[in-house]
Structure 1
Amino acid sequence: MHEIIYVQSGTYANYIGQHFWNVQESYFDWEEEPEEVNERKPPEVNHDISFREGLGTNGVSTYLPRVLIFDSKDVFGSIPKYNTMYESVAGEEANDSASWTGQSVSYQQPLHPKSQYQCDLDEQTTKASQTIESRRTYNPSTWADYTSVYYHPCSIWPVSYILTGTGNKWDEGEDAWGRLQHENDFWDKDFRLFAEECDLLQGLQATSSASDAFASLSASLLQTFRDEYPKLPALLFLPLSQRKEKFNPYDLAERRRLSTESKMLVMSAEAEATIIPLQCPATWSKGQWTTELALDLNFGEAYQSSALLSAHIESATLSLRLNSNPTSLSSLTSLLNYHTDTPISHLSGALPLYDTLFTNKIYDFSTVLDASVPDTPTFSACTTYRGLLSPQTRVNLTERLEQSIGIREPLLQLFIVLCPTISYFDFIPSYSGNSFEQCTAAVYVAHNLSHIIIS
């Protein structure tokens, strides 16, 4: 099946990841299948690449994301480790105290209240005519407040022993990884559960914080993955923290943050991961690329900025999950790093896009320079255009890409898919009421020695 294992580590990385999984879930077609086999059309997205099939504790078939989620214990909010599909497991653990014949007192922590998003989702489920209002109106306290998917118990990893003070964050993350290994036997029990049930594992796609303790936890995981699976690729999206205009050498917290980011980049490269850094949304500059976005879009809110980043990441990797003519994670990472010594790439894109004229609408989320003018030399590219195009328009699009980027096949790859872009478009007022053919998305990832484009 060419499965992929996903890893999300850190709060902002999980904000991005939650949008990603909400969209993957929206690609499922829950309508009744036609009676005649000839009328059935396979979905454009191969869900088996990102989802695993299994059985719940009641024998009910489950189809859940193949993902490992690490975050602070208090951030998981209303997401339990054992959801309704596995609640009997939690019940059995609770009943272990039945062997105790003495007096006991039970203390139960109050449950985290459901968010408005989840309440609206429940109401939409019970009332088919109901529709969720614009997601821009939500103000979730954590990424767990807007989840619309269930997770396997092995996916949930609340880390309660990572400190939040001013200590050495790198050492704290390594300590957390050591405890996961020794106390929970994480790698041999849980990671292998996902890996060994795959027919043909093609690699790892990770999104991780870069400047806190979760950076070293992720770096340790990547190194272990490289030791165990030396021939499989890893693609890493790395949200960076906000940089100050002037570096203060006497600011100990700033020095530790920069040191952690530097170590993360070095160790990820040593683990042979293809790295795509993402600049902090606070550094984004508004321009022509934001003209079609909602006027009240706030880059300072993690919920909204992560939706934009997730839209580009989901589009940038969509070619990995297609049913027809997909590319492999190995081919993608090899294309971006065909020199074998350029592990860092850039993520850029145009969203939304109503035609093939996207040159002035592309924004680079990885550079600290003028991101609206990507002028770094490009040596390789993978592009995906989401929308319906005529054969002649496809030829014109390819020619325009070759002229603007300055490279040709096979170093320039183009994928044209029909998958609608969902969820993120609550941030795009002009999308309301338009058909999918009128609203497409473009994403562009680049480095001075490699890049990806998705349109």
Structure 2
Amino acid sequence: MKEIVTIQVGDYANFIGSHFWNFQDELMGLASDPHGDPVFNSQDLNMDVLYRTGETQQGILSYTPRLVSINMKGSLGSMSSHGTLYNNDAPIASDVVTWAGQVSTHVSEHHKRNLFLQSLYEEDQNLNMANEANGGSTGSQREYQDKDIVDSLENGVQFWTDYSKVHYHPQSLYELSGVWMDLEEFDNYGIGRDSFAWTSHGEEISDRLRFFVEECDHMQGIQFIVDDSGGFSAVAAEFLENLVDDYTNTPVMLYATRGPGSNARLQSKKHTIFGDLHDAISFARLSSYSKLIVPIGLPILSTSKASKFLRINDEKPYHSSAVYGSALHSISLPFRMGPVRPTSNACSFSGAVDVNGVIEMLSGQGRQNMVSILDVAMPAPTLTGDNEQSLLENLQPLTPQIEEDVEDLQAVEYLTVHGALASAGHRASVSEVKDMIHAAFERSNMRPMFCHLSATLCPLPIPLPFPSIFGNLVGQRGELINGQLTDASRKGSLDVHSIPMAARLRSNSAILPFLETRLRNLHQFGIERGALGAPLLSSWGFGKEELVEMEEMLSKMVIALSPPQLSDSD
């Protein structure tokens, strides 16, 4: 088995991660349901790749994500930093009094469980009581209606833990002590660098990572998700710098994420320059410590082509992060596909690959480059005999600032399709998916130089706490219904139970505008003589020599992706 350790740094990264882990939990629940849809009963996905088996202090077996989550103090809402499974009681105050002066006590606000978390808590309590009663019935009367829970989440999510249905290990949840500021104030690279002290934070985070790594037999890689819109980018870079030294042979696949609106700049020229420099420094630093970096986060998701069949409220991180979490689930499915069984008559998956295989594929074929574009079709359209082209055409970018309809003869793609529906309403077989995609590429005017296809029958399950973001044209199994798309109607987990998905990573020159903007802003505002942002970068701790190295690295990325006639035209 090849294990993956996941790291989530920052608030929005944890919003995405919460959805990602909910999908894994839902898959495991559906796989164990003897009366459920057989498509979920497949044993082809090895969840041990992402999860670890343990035991609580009470001797109860546990199954928890191999995860390190980093966020601000007070970001866990009603959840304890020890998680919900392990009972680590707070230390009892000593009766010994050695201080005779006045004592001032500051207590943070205690957040109550919402309806969803309260229902999970009561289910666990009922299950424990049934187990103690030697196999008594677990079918207790529901205290809450699903509709009330869904409505509560739609109107009341404040923290990523508010909709998390997963048990976490005590080593997983780390809060940065001493960092109590609002997220609005934690908005640039410099303040993140100032707030993160390696001596007080770094060693403990490294110990937590080591706890999970040392349990692995053969770790295939690290899945790193970071909110790079503010100070957490600096926290992630400091952590990554030490991580790559400790685990030199372990590839890091990094998703640099940000929510809608986080790209918006204040009107003053000064704040615009500060924001542009943050973006340039953040990308340069993060990419220098990862084998492959995938920028994710459209400035406005609700009106993007990726949301054609969705109804997103950009002001709710709970909504937008669900789309990005779905994409990360889809793109990582091949990492946990089991070995093909030769006795199987109809294979339910194809194209298993590990993290290093994808990285080598996207960064090493044809040209060396380390940045990739993420596209998604959510839900993926039905595969029909005369409409297979629509699946590729419906893949829309979640990466910002890219050029559309670019012909790149050296493009490399990694495509995952799962749960695809055929024209008759049944699930398309893996061989049907492969044939359809192959036919689509044959007819395409912009074929990549190389494309790896992974396919599986298992669709994306929609768990109860998933937000109501589907439009009225999405059916119960994710099929697209003919009719007029309306703005008023939103569907959620009570109406849509699963959807077919397609997600793609591509190394393509379409990313050039993204890279060129960061290269230009770094030079213009930070390096050239009289640059307006030079004093700011100096206050962030960056000297001229380090900035020039960043500029050279970004320049190499641009040159690697530029058409030959442009890169050789000096």
Q: Same fold (TM over 0.5)?
A: yes
TM interval, short-chain normalised: 0.7 to 0.9
CA contact (8 A) 1:380 1:449 kept: no
Residue aligning to 1:427 = 469
Answering whether residue 345 of structure 2 is matched by residue 322 of structure 1, we say: no
1:132 aligns with 2:192: no
- Over residues 149-204 of structure 1, what are the superposed CA-to-partner deviations in whole Å (9 max), with x where a residue is unaligned? 1111111111243455768943443344424x446732552111111111111111
TM-score, normalising length from structure 1? 0.83
Residue 249 of structure 1: which of 241, 258, 269 is its match?
A: 269
8 Å Cα contact 1:72-1:159 kept in structure 2: yes
Q: 2:375 aligns with which of 345, 348, 353?
A: 348
> How far apart, in 2, do the equivalents of 1:439 and 1:85 lie?
30
Distance 1:343 1:426, change over 3 A: same
DSSP-derived class of the 1:185 partner: helix
RMSD after superposition: 3.4
Maintained 8 Å contact 1:336/1:380: yes
Matched, 1:203 2:221: yes
| Whole-angstrom distance in 1 between the partners of 2:65 and 2:19 | 13
Cα pair distance change 1:139/1:224, threshold 3 Å: same
Q: For the structure 1 residues 247 and 318, does the alpha-carbon distance in structure 2 shift closer, same or farther, using more than 3 Å as the test?
A: farther
On the 8 A contact 1:354/1:438 being kept in 2, the answer is no
- Structure 2 letter corresponding to 1:142: F
CA shift in 2, pair 1:284/1:347, >3 Å: farther
Aligned twin of 1:266: 284
Give the letter aligned to residue 364 of structure 2.
Y
Q: Distance in 1 between matches of 2:190 and 2:56?
A: 37
Would the aligned equivalents of 1:9 and 1:218 in 2 still touch at CA under 8 Å? yes
- The 1-side partners of 2:24 and 2:70 are apart by 20
Match of 2:503 in 1: 443
Separation (CA, whole Å) in 2 of partners of 1:308 and 1:438: 14
For residues 296-331 of structure 1, give each alpha carbon's deviation from its aligned partner in whole angstroms, at most 9, with x where no partner exists. x31332111110111111101111122235311000
| Counterpart residue identity of residue 119, structure 1 | Q
**CA distance in 1: counterparts of 2:266 and 2:319, whole angstroms:** 27
- The 5 A counterparts of 1:210-359 are 210-240=228-258, 242-244=262-264, 248-251=268-271, 254-282=272-300, 285-287=303-305, 289-294=306-311, 297-324=312-339, 326-339=352-365, 341-356=368-383, 357-359=390-392
Flag the 1:364–1:109 CA change in 2: closer, same or farther, 3 A: closer
Preserved contact between residue 342 and residue 450 of structure 1 (Cα < 8 Å): no
- Displacement of 1:82 in angstroms is 2.0
Q: Structure 1 CA distance, aligned partners of 2:175 and 2:123?
A: 29
For residues 116-171 of structure 1, give each alpha carbon's deviation from its aligned partner in whole angstroms, at most 9, with x where no partner exists.
33234456776577763347734301111111111111111112434557689434
Q: Say if 1:354 and 1:121 are closer, same or farther in 2 by CA, change over 3 A.
A: farther
**Does the aligned pair in 1 maintain the 2:287–2:370 contact within 8 Å?**
yes
1:364 is aligned to 2:364: no
Matches of 2:453 and 2:155, distance apart in 1: 36
Which residue identity is paired with 1:147? S
Structure 2: how far apart are the matches of 1:438 and 1:260?
39
Deviates more, 1:238-247 or 1:440-449: 238-247
Equivalent positions of 1:146-185 (< 5 A) are 146-162=163-179, 163-164=181-182, 169-179=188-198, 181-182=199-200, 185=203
CA contact (8 A) 2:371 2:507 kept: yes
Asked if structure 2 preserves the Cα contact closer than 8 Å seen for 1:202 and 1:232, the reply is yes
Of 379, 382, 401, 2:411 maps to: 379
Per the alignment, do residues 84 and 151 of structure 1 end up closer, same or farther by CA in structure 2, a change over 3 Å counting?
A: closer
Q: CA 1:109–1:210 in 2, change beyond 3 Å: closer, same or farther?
A: closer
1:445 is displaced (CA, Å) by 2.6
Tell me the equivalent position of 1:397: 437
Q: How many residues align?
A: 432
Do the aligned partners of 1:55 and 1:62 also contact (CA within 8 Å) in 2?
yes
C-alpha distance in 2, partners of 1:245/1:176?
23
**Corresponding letter in the other structure for 2:251:** P
Q: Deviations over 1:379-438 (max 9, x none)?
A: 111111112324345313223135435135xx3111111222123584224555338899
Q: Counterpart in 2 of 1:37?
A: none
1:14 is displaced (CA, Å) by 0.9
Structure 1 equivalent of residue 21 of structure 2: 21
Q: CA deviation at 1:364?
A: 0.7
Larger radius of gyration between Structure 1 and Structure 2 = 2
Name which of structure 1's ranges 42-51 and 122-131 shifts more when overlaid on structure 2.
122-131
1:207-258 deviations in whole A, cap 9, x for unaligned? 111131110111112221211112211111112464448985322xx43333
Stretches of structure 2 that go unaligned for 5 or more consecutive residues are 35-39, 127-139, 341-351, 384-389, 420-426, 480-496, 512-570
Residue in structure 1 matched with residue 541 of structure 2 by the alignment: none
Q: What is the distance in 2 between the residues matched to 1:434 and 1:376? A: 35
Aligned to 2:545: none
Amino acid across the alignment from 1:118: L
Q: How does 1:105-124 map to 2 (within 5 A)?
A: 111-122=110-121
Cα 1:168–1:305 change in 2 (3 A) is closer
Give the TM-score normalised by structure 2: 0.68
